[in-house]
Chains A and B, each alone.
Chain A
C-alpha cells in the first residue's frame, strides 16, 4: 500500500465486516475477494474492480507428518478455506476437476485465515488454504508442509482485487488514478529487486500489518514467486475463468460480466508502468 498522505488505510479483521463497511459507503476503495466483488455486482451493488493488488500469494498446507502428498490424496480429508466467496475455494474446484475429482470428495469448512495455523497444528483439519502470511507461518514454525502453491495449479492466480464504488470513478477519478498508479508503481518496485521486498517486509510489517517482519520476509522470498506484484492489470479471460468456477461452486449466478464489474481504463498499458525510484523505505 502506498503511504501518500491523503490515502488512509483501514485494516479489517474479516471479510464480512469489510464488505458491510463498503456497502455503507464508508470506504472509498477496498481490496476484496475477487468472487465476492463479482457477486456483489450481481446483487446490484455498484462496485467496479479497477486493478489487482497482487497475483498468486496463496498456498495450500498440510502437516509435515501428513500422508497427503498429492492433491488426489485429499480424498476424504477436511480442508479449511477462508470464505465461501474466496478464490481459494474456487481453486479447489479447478484443481479437483482437472484430476477427475469433485468437491464432494473432501469436507470443506470455512475458517478465518488467522485461525488456520492453530487448526492445522492441532489436527482439527487436514489441510488449510489461504493467502499469506498465515500459510508461511506454519512452514516457518516447522509443522506445515506446502502441498501446492497457486503457481502450480492456477498460474497468475487472483485472490483479491482493488474495487471502488462506481460513482467514485466519475466524482474522484484523479484520486482513484493516483491509488492505482501507486499500487502499480510500487508493485514494479517490489518485483525489481529482492532488497526492495525485504525493505517492504520490514516497513509494512510494522506500519500496516502488525505482523512479524521475519515472517513477511519469508513470504516475499521463499520462493520469490510465492507472491507477485507485477502484471496487475485486469485481464478478461482471468475473470471469465473465475466466473465459470463461481457458477460451478454455486456462489455466482452469471448475471454480471467483465464489462459490468471491471474498469480497465486506469492502466491501459502495463508495460508503460514505471517503478518508483525509492532507495530506502517509502
Chain B
C-alpha cells in the first residue's frame, strides 16, 4: 500500500491485483485446505469441513434465516454501541479535561472495565427480562469502557501548545472545545471507537445466549440444541467473523476522512 502511494506512476496493475487482496486470499485458501485435510485425516464425523459449512450457509440463506439473524445482531450491536458512544465520548472527554473528575471516577471505571459482559448476564436478565434490551445492555457495557478510556486519554495526550495557542487568540470555552479539543482528539477517539466496535461485535454471541430467538449468537446456540449441526455452529462463526471484518473496514475508512486523517498520517 505504501509503495502504491509513493510511486503511483509505476503501478499499472489493476487495483484488484494489489497484494492487499491477493495475500489474504492466499492465506484463506491455504487455511481452508488445511481445515479440509485435518477433518479428513481425523475421520471425525462430528466436526464439519469447509464444504459442509458452505452448505450450511446456503441452507441458512435459503430459509431466510441468515438475513434475519444478521439484522437482529446488527440491530443490537448498533444500539448498544450507539448508546455507548453517546455516553462514553462526552464522559471520556469530560474526564480528560477535568482533573478532579478524573481522580474521582477513573478508579471506578478501572474496576468495572475488566468485568466480562458474561458476568452481567444474570443481572441483565433480572433487569431487562427477555426483551432486546438485555443484549443491548450487555453490548453497551462491553463497549462503553474502551470508548470512555480512549476519549479520556485523547484529551490528556493533547499537545498543550494547541490549547495555549488557542487561548492566546482569546477563544471562548465553547469555541475552544468545538474548534480545538474536539478536532484534536477525534483521531484517537475514532481509534477507540474502532476497538470498541470490535468488542461490541465480539460479545454478540454471549449477549444472545439470553432467551432471545434471533441473532447470529442465537444461531450458534440454537445449532447446539439441534443435535449434530456443528456445520451451522461453524457457519455462524464464519459469518460473525466476516461481518466483523466489514465493520472494521468501515471504521478504517472513516479514519481516512479529511477531518481526522492527519492524526494517522505518520503511523
Contacts and interface: CB of A to CB of B under 8 A. Distances in A.
Interface of A: 10-14, 16-18, 20-21, 23-24, 26, 112, 114-115, 117-118, 121-122, 133-134, 137, 141, 209-212, 215
6 contacts: A13-B221, A14-B209, A20-B122, A133-B227, A212-B227, A215-B227
Given A24-B125, A24-B129, A17 B211 contact: yes
Contacts of A23: 126
B10 interface: no
Contacts of A26: 129-130
B222 interface: yes
Given A211-B227, A215-B227, A21 B130 contact: yes
Interface of B: 45-46, 121-122, 125-127, 129-130, 209-211, 213, 221-222, 224-228, 230
Contacts of B122: 16, 20
Contact of B227 (A20, A112, A121, A137): A137
A118 B46 contact: yes
B130 A10 contact: yes
Contact of B125 (A17, A115, A215): A17
Contacts of B227: 117, 133-134, 137, 211-212, 215
Contacts of A133: 227
Contacts of A14: 209
A17 B213 CA distance: 13
Contacts of A112: 224
B211 A21 contact: yes
Most buried by A among B209, B211, B221: B211
Contacts, number: 60
Contact of B228 (A21, A141, A210): A141
Contacts of B225: 13, 114, 209-211
Nearest to A209: B225
A229 B211 CA distance: 26
Contact of B121 (A17, A118, A215): A17
B263 to A, nearest CB: 43
A24 B126 contact: yes
A113 to B, nearest CB: 9
A141 B225 CA distance: 16
B226 A212 contact: yes
A133 B229 CA distance: 14
A12 B126 contact: no
A24 B123 CA distance: 10
Contacts of A141: 45, 228
A115 B225 CA distance: 8
A210 B218 CA distance: 12
Contact of A13 (B127, B129, B211): B211
B210 A17 contact: yes
Given A114-B225, A121-B46, A212-B226, A13 B209 contact: yes
A11 B213 contact: yes
A117 B211 CA distance: 23
Nearest to A13: B221
A162 B228 CA distance: 28
Given A10-B130, A24-B126, A24-B129, A17 B209 contact: yes
Nearest to B224: A114
A169 B16 CA distance: 68
Contacts of B224: 13, 112, 114-115
Given A10-B130, A20-B126, A24-B126, A210 B211 contact: no
A211 B210 contact: no
A13 B121 CA distance: 13
A142 to B, nearest CB: 9
